[in-house]
Chain A
């Protein structure tokens, strides 16, 4: 079978490449990995004019063929046919930002020199016009010697024309490919500027939107205040917006649980289905709305271009602890999940900065810890309203996030002053134009996250829950004995309890700590499973988990549990991705040990202080 023709999509960062990729491939996308390197391979099916398909591969954005990061190295190697696991592309689609031709044409010129059949997509022509810039694509075509198609990828404009042009290009005969690029960067840059100037039809000087917005958002005083406000709104929204959908899911789980109880005869099978599967997975699924709301904000902040501004505002502060503002983006992503966060550290050039960022990324409260926080807060913190739209529960939640951030900054300081002294690169980032990300792209991003989460719930979380149910159910307790004491899990928990008793942890928490290593949200399902197995009468098992906890845990214990999870020894996925990104077991081990110590000390201090205060 002949493989599909391979078209490589490439261009400088911030040219709108991902939007164009989405517009050309729709939902027909695949995410994989290049062998040997930790760079994701995004590819999709592209429909040509007559219905024939071609494969479109979205290469990481790069400024030139001289790479400054592992991502850019992949782009170069694929284009030169040197990348393992990838064919040499049959054709190139280069995206350039119409309002930044001076810069983007440099890379385009370098790519055209490769001699592959090439098309240039002159993207974001609408934004260029908004900024008073009128361009002549015919001049560009003449100067570059390749077809130029005007597009507005986020509005899906010019896509049909682009597909037709790709079709023509793939039908044309191919000439040879040059092995080496000759011209140097400075020379290419000057030629790019000449062409860009020649292509301008008219330019009206207007104060650009982005500049006006930046005057507010990057204002020395206003900027940080707005950043803090955005963060605050984001975490309040995670709580407030999720209330309705969460209660729907809870009702559905309760309904399912009731139906299953009625349908199955009392006994082991009913216990397995109701106490094991439904109680465990149901407890975790409830948090889907919150996780999606968090991802929605992160996708929005990234898509609009605000994330880089946040990095700008935070740079000096991060510099103070030995990092750069660049670390802010991976760290903020780690609020969703440390795995993509740690993968995003690849954009940090300095190896010591990067390693430090990886080590502190798990201190950012990931969405998997949300279920734990939410459960404990709902059970122990009264839902008092402090001001309009500001609840005490939300404030506590915000405080927990803050606690993690402060811990991370202190950890970075210690790491950078101690183990990893010296070095420290700079902070060099492009501030892209603000734009409203297409609703479809944000929706697609959220959908992907929802799928990943539900897949986890169906596999790793279900599996761990069922294993835990088995360990917690056998051997069966005799009348008068407590099931959670007698079972295998109970015995293991009793051993752990010896260690964690001083910091206020009870038997059930000890039981939840181990499976929480598989995935943190399992702590919730573990507690749910233990309590539903333990409760013999139906009235108690009908009570919601937080109501049950409220009666059994003391407030200091609950607070210590929260503090533990701020520093929570991370999940297996985080350890695995750290091993992959640092090429060895040394750093994951360092990470796990220091986090364990921190978690223990933090929980202990919280517990002892709370007891001392008489809470």
Chain B
């Protein structure tokens, strides 16, 4: 179990809009090479601050995510490979 007052660790696709979080790990093996490269280009890396900003109109997909200082759109299933720890 998680410590009290510490929000539960989750994956980026489950992160609620408006909650800031920090990337704790990326399961690169679950992603193809092209996707991995783009995520690196966008600056996804352990320790980077992220926040879900907007959700797509159909099926809440894709997700607009603030990563570092920029905003990117990625699909839900790619976001699922990114583990995050919400910050209170």
Per-residue CB contact flags for chain A residues 59-82 toward chain B (1 = under 8 Å, else 0) read 000011010100000000000000
Per-residue CB contact flags for chain B residues 55-88 toward chain A (1 = under 8 Å, else 0) read 1111111101000111111110110000000000
CB-defined contacts of A196 to chain B, threshold 8 Å: 69
CB-defined contacts of A211 to chain B, threshold 8 Å: 53, 71
CB-defined contacts of B37 to chain A, threshold 8 Å: 66, 68
Question: Does B38 have its Cβ within 8 Å of any Cβ on chain A?
Answer: yes
Establish whether residues B41 and A317, one from each chain, have CB atoms under 8 Å apart when the complex forms.
no
**Chain B: minimal CB distance from A98 (Å):** 10
A312–B76 CA distance with the chains assembled, in angstroms: 13
Question: Does A437 have its Cβ within 8 Å of any Cβ on chain B?
Answer: no
Establish whether residues A214 and B40, one from each chain, have CB atoms under 8 Å apart when the complex forms.
no
Establish whether residues A316 and B59, one from each chain, have CB atoms under 8 Å apart when the complex forms.
yes
Establish whether residues A189 and B72, one from each chain, have CB atoms under 8 Å apart when the complex forms.
no
CB-defined contacts of B77 to chain A, threshold 8 Å: 426
Question: Does A202 have its Cβ within 8 Å of any Cβ on chain B?
Answer: no
- A interface majority secondary structure: helix
Question: Does B35 have its Cβ within 8 Å of any Cβ on chain A?
Answer: yes
B35 to A, closest residue via Cβ: A426
A189–B39 CA distance with the chains assembled, in angstroms: 12
Size bin of chain B's contact surface: 20 to 34
Establish whether residues B57 and A430, one from each chain, have CB atoms under 8 Å apart when the complex forms.
no
A63–B39 CA distance with the chains assembled, in angstroms: 11
Q: For B37, B55, B64, B70, which residue has the most chain A Cβ atoms within 10 angstroms?
A: B70
Question: Does B4 have its Cβ within 8 Å of any Cβ on chain A?
Answer: no
Establish whether residues A317 and B45, one from each chain, have CB atoms under 8 Å apart when the complex forms.
no
Establish whether residues A312 and B56, one from each chain, have CB atoms under 8 Å apart when the complex forms.
yes
**Chain B: minimal CB distance from A208 (Å):** 9
Establish whether residues A221 and B42, one from each chain, have CB atoms under 8 Å apart when the complex forms.
no
Instruction: Select A106's contact among B43, B60, B71, beta carbons within 8 Å.
Output: B43
Establish whether residues B75 and A430, one from each chain, have CB atoms under 8 Å apart when the complex forms.
no
Establish whether residues A102 and B38, one from each chain, have CB atoms under 8 Å apart when the complex forms.
no
Question: Does A218 have its Cβ within 8 Å of any Cβ on chain B?
Answer: yes
Question: Does A243 have its Cβ within 8 Å of any Cβ on chain B?
Answer: no
A62 to B, closest residue via Cβ: B41
Establish whether residues B71 and A431, one from each chain, have CB atoms under 8 Å apart when the complex forms.
yes
Establish whether residues A193 and B72, one from each chain, have CB atoms under 8 Å apart when the complex forms.
no
CB-defined contacts of B71 to chain A, threshold 8 Å: 210-211, 214, 430-431
Per-residue CB contact flags for chain A residues 309-336 toward chain B (1 = under 8 Å, else 0) read 0011101110100000100000000000
A161–B8 CA distance with the chains assembled, in angstroms: 51
Establish whether residues A431 and B56, one from each chain, have CB atoms under 8 Å apart when the complex forms.
no
Instruction: Select B43's contact among A99, A103, A427, beta carbons within 8 Å.
Output: A103
CB-defined contacts of B34 to chain A, threshold 8 Å: 68, 349-350, 425
Establish whether residues B45 and A214, one from each chain, have CB atoms under 8 Å apart when the complex forms.
no
Q: With A68-B41, A428-B39 as given contacts, are A316 and B72 in contact (CB-CB < 8 Å)? A: no
Q: With A224-B57, A428-B35 as given contacts, are A189 and B40 in contact (CB-CB < 8 Å)? A: yes
Establish whether residues A316 and B68, one from each chain, have CB atoms under 8 Å apart when the complex forms.
no
Establish whether residues A214 and B54, one from each chain, have CB atoms under 8 Å apart when the complex forms.
yes
Establish whether residues B69 and A427, one from each chain, have CB atoms under 8 Å apart when the complex forms.
no
A349–B54 CA distance with the chains assembled, in angstroms: 24
Instruction: Select B70's contact among A103, A189, A350, A426, beta carbons within 8 Å.
Output: A103
A349–B77 CA distance with the chains assembled, in angstroms: 17
A324–B56 CA distance with the chains assembled, in angstroms: 13
Question: Does A186 have its Cβ within 8 Å of any Cβ on chain B?
Answer: yes
Establish whether residues B62 and A315, one from each chain, have CB atoms under 8 Å apart when the complex forms.
yes
Q: For B34, B59, B69, which residue has the most chain A Cβ atoms within 10 angstroms?
A: B69
Chain A to chain B contacts (Cβ below 8 Å), 9 pairs: A63-B38, A68-B37, A100-B70, A185-B40, A189-B43, A325-B73, A349-B34, A350-B34, A431-B64
Extra 15 A-B pairs, beta carbons < 8 Å, given A312-B64, A426-B77, A428-B35: A100-B69, A103-B43, A185-B40, A189-B40, A190-B45, A214-B53, A214-B71, A215-B54, A220-B57, A221-B57, A308-B73, A312-B73, A317-B58, A425-B35, A426-B35
Q: Across chains A and B, which 8 residue pairs bring their CB atoms closest together, nearest first?
A: A63-B41, A316-B58, A102-B68, A218-B54, A431-B71, A220-B57, A428-B38, A103-B43
* Interface of B toward A, CB cutoff 8 Å: 34-35, 37-43, 45, 48, 53-62, 64, 68-75, 77-78
